[in-house]
Amino acid sequence: MCGRFSLPFMVQEVVEEFDIDQVLREFNPNYNIAPMQDIAVILAGSRILDVYKWGLLPHWAKDQKITYKLINARAETVAEKPAYRKALETRCLIPAGGFFEWKKDGKNKIPYYITLKKRKIFALGGITSIWTSDGKTIKTCSIVTTGPNKFMKDIHDRMPLIIPKDKEDLWLKGSIEDVKKLMVQSKEEMQSVIISTLVNSPKNNSPELLKPVY
């Protein structure tokens, strides 16, 4: 799964990296992004940057609490699951600087921060939903996940879908059949560091969280 990630960059850095044409909402750098928080998303069209809530709320949902269960969509079943099938038609790129995962070590869980060697900002594959009721509108998203690549296998059995730089437009604008071909384990060169367990709490949010402890 992908239950935490970071975007330790300013809006302008994201705008430049992804050739954004229109910014609907700005955001602040976030070193410890957790589910249910507002996150930056890039939408199709003329590369629009907006802010959505992380945790999908399907258009048919009656109870908003369902979003807690829908932060991730498995690539293997996203096209069939009722909660995700419609959302797969409206995809987004989710800018990230890295993501966190916890490796089991006996009774303990060791937090790792995983980044790409050649890209300081990259895109996770996301799906979106716009929920409306009684004049209220909520924009939400979920991160697609895959099985682990060779690098991630030693840390965890799932990982977020990372969209290659040259496939970003295809993810945003391609057909369902096109994007199914993109939902595979990343071939990007990756690196990781062990970080402080302070990251375990979303209340902790500072650049120090991303530094290796040894």
pLDDT band at residue 147, thresholds of 50, 70 and 90?
A: very high
Smallest CA-to-CA distance from 6 within 57, 55, 40 is with: 40
What pTM was computed for the model? 0.96
In the chain, how many H helices and how many E strands? 4, 14
Is the pLDDT reported for residue 1 higher than 80?
no
Which tens digits make up the pLDDT trace of 83-116?
999 999 999 999 999 999 999 988 899 999 999 9
| Confidence grade of residue 64 (pLDDT, cut at 50, 70, 90) | confident
Percentage of the chain with pLDDT > 90?
88
**Can you give the pLDDT at residue 106?**
87
> Is there a contact between 78 and 88 (Cβ–Cβ < 8 Å)?
yes
101 is a catalytic site residue: yes
Side-by-side strand order, sheet with 108-116: 30-33, 5-7, 98-105, 108-116, 190-194
What's the pLDDT at 207? 97
Residue 93 near residue 126, CB atoms below 8 Å = yes
pLDDT at 7: 98
Q: From the candidates 2, 92, 141, 168, which is the catalytic residue?
A: 2
- Structure token pair of residue 57: 């709320």
Domains belonging to the chain, first-starting first, are: 5-210 (3.90.1680.10)
141 is catalytic: no
Q: CA 188: distance to chain centroid?
A: 16
- Among residues 80, 92, 101, 208, the one annotated as catalytic is 101
pLDDT band at 67 (very low <50, low <70, confident <90, very high): confident
Task: Name which residue leads in pLDDT, 61 or 207.
Answer: 207
pLDDT of residue 65: 82
Quick check: 144 and 75 in contact, CB under 8 A? Answer: yes
Round to whole Å and give the CA distance between 168 and 166: 6
Q: Which residue has the tokens 């269960």?
A: 69
* Gap between the Cα atoms of 167 and 137, Å rounded: 30
The pLDDT confidence band at residue 214, using thresholds 50, 70 and 90, is confident
